[in-house]
Structures are given as C-alpha cells and as structure tokens.
C-alpha cells in the first residue's frame, strides 16, 4: 500500500485539539499497521510562520502552504480564527481544495471551507453552537446540525473537537480496515469510533432541563434507574403530581413527553453498552429496562433501522487489542 499524504492547515486562533486529534489518529497507523500504507502528516501555515492557538499554545508548521504539493487528504481545523478567516487561506483553499483527494473539516473549520465555496450544494455539519451563524452565512449549504460528522462525496465535515477524531478514524477504517481503526481508538482511549449519524449530544444534554427541581431531579433519576418502573403513573407519583399534571408539566419543561424521554435514554444506554462492553444482548436489554431482547430489538429497528445484533456487528468492541509503540 502506498503512503498517503495528509496536510493540516494551521492559522492564527486555531483550536489545538482540532489539529492534534486527527494528527494522532493518522500518525497511529504507522504503529498499528506495521508501517504499511502509513500516512505522511504535515502541517502548514500561509507564510510558514508559527501561529498561536485560542488557548495560547504556539504551533510551528512544517512548511508554508504555497510550498506544499496537493495532498491526498486535506484537513481544515476550526477555532476562532476560522470564523473570520484570513482571505489568503480562503483563496488557497479555493484553488487547492478541489484538487485534494479528500477534504475534511473539523468543528468550525466548516466556515473556512464554506468561505472557499467548497460546500455549496453539499450536506455538511459544524459545532452545534455555530449552526445558526453558519446557516445565515452559507444558505447554499445543506447544514445538518444533528450528526457528529457528515460525508458528502469527497468532502466531509465534523462537529465538535472530538468529532474530528471520529471522522479521522472513519477515514482510517476506509483506508485500512476496521481492526486498524479500532486499535488506534483503543490506544487513544476513545474506546470505539462513533458512527457519523450519532447525535452531537447525549439525550440528557440534548433535552431541555426542567425548571422545577422535582422534575429536574427526576430526569437525573431516570438515567440512573432504567430498570425501574418508568411509566407515567410511576413517575408522576415520584414527582408528587397527578399523572395528567405531570405529563403536561414534563412536556412543557423538557420539550418531549415522559415516555419519549424514557425511550431515548434507554436507547442511548443500550447503544453505549453494545459499543463499549461485551455484554450479551439479553443482558443489555435487562440492564436498560427493556425486559426482553425482542422489546429492545423493536426499539432499535424503529429508531436506528437495525437490530441490536446488526448494530453491534458494525460497532462491536475489540476482543483483543494490539498495543501501539509509545
């Protein structure tokens, strides 16, 4: 397998994790795959000079962008500097982005790629906090605020900083296979790469937090007691309200019905157990309050389009881990 070139663009006000996360993933292939088909990773700034990140970390590049050959894989990180980008970098991306084999953006790096016109007509995503601003600035882009990363042809965009690691792992899996990607994921202690269509938020974070303390405490209690009776009547009794009053108040304050909230929390817990543990499907179904594997299967098919066994087949944990050299 030939060596693939990776070029990471650096600029003032960059988010350092957007750089180091993908960099570590691509560099890890050399150790996980015995050097075969490894990536040659380089960084570059517009003028070859060091830049300062949002946290104050100083990053020294390998080269100036103008001196770099068009790479197999071009990575555009995010950060405050991507929101009001250097016109010289935008121009360079406009000229060179279409010629790169693949183009990836991390977090608000989508603003840079969008400013270069490389997302026009494409489906994309970015960090949740900047989705409204992105849509206003780039109405020609089909922004999807939900997934942690989106792939549209040769261009891929990702959400928050850790989503850049997920996207890089997806690229490694595509180039080198699942076992290599999972070996790197374990080494980085991210355990398992998340599927791109996974939401940016967990259910408790995505849902609104109730205003009144009793309902807010109940939300936390549900997450920690999935095997309990979580019917509306039981939850209403725990909240000290009538079932009708409870259902109305919960919907008004949390933004969804109690039943739907319970369904989503159980589904997320089951997904995490299937991804990160070796527990059997029956054991997972009991732990998450489904009662039977069939009840959990119906919930998975309804929400994810695949049963638990198929979901685990795609995202199962490794049974053995090949250690990486330090």
Positions annotated as catalytic residues are 107
CB 4 within 8 A of CB 72: yes
DSSP string, 273-290: HHHH----HHHHHHHTT-
CA–CA dist 254, 256 (Å, integer): 6
Cα dihedral: 135, 139, 144, 150 (round 10): -110
CA–CA dist 144, 128 (Å, integer): 10
Buried b (16+ CB within 10 A) or exposed e, 33-61: beeeebbebbbbbbeeeebebbeeeebeb
- Name the pairing type of β-strands 102-105 and 73-76: parallel
């Amino acid at each position: 397998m030939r060596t693939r070139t990776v070029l990471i663009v650096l600029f003032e006000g960059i988010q350092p994790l957007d750089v180091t996360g993908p960099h570590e993933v691509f560099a890890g292939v050399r150790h996980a795959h015995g050097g075969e088909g490894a990536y040659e990773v380089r960084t570059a700034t517009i003028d070859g000079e060091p830049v300062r990140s949002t946290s104050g970390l100083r990053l020294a590049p390998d080269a100036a962008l103008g001196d770099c050959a068009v790479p197999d894989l071009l990575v555009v990180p995010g950060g405050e500097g991507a929101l009001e980008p250097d016109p010289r970098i935008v121009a360079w991306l406009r000229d060179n982005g279409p010629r790169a084999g693949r183009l990836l953006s991390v977090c608000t790096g989508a603003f840079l790629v969008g400013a270069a016109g490389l997302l026009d007509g494409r489906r994309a995503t970015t960090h949740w906090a900047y989705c409204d601003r992105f849509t206003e600035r780039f109405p020609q882009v089909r922004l999807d605020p939900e997934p942690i990363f989106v792939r549209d042809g040769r261009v891929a965009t990702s959400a928050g900083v850790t989503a850049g690691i997920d996207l890089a792992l997806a690229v490694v899996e595509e180039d080198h296979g699942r076992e290599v990607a999972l070996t790197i994921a374990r080494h980085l202690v991210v355990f398992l790469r998340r599927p791109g269509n996974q939401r940016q938020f967990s259910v408790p974070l995505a849902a609104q937090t109730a205003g009144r303390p009793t309902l807010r405490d109940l939300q936390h209690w549900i997450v920690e007691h999935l095997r309990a009776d979580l019917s509306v009547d039981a939850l209403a009794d725990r909240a000290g309200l009538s079932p009708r009053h409870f259902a109305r108040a919960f919907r008004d304050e949390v933004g969804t019905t109690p039943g739907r909230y319970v369904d989503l929390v159980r589904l997320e817990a089951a997904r995490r157990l299937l991804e990160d543990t070796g527990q059997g499907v029956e054991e997972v179904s009991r732990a998450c309050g489904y009662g039977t594997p069939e009840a959990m299967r119906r919930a998975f098919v309804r929400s994810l389009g695949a049963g638990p066994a198929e979901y685990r087949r795609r995202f199962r944990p490794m049974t053995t881990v090949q250690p990486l050299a330090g």
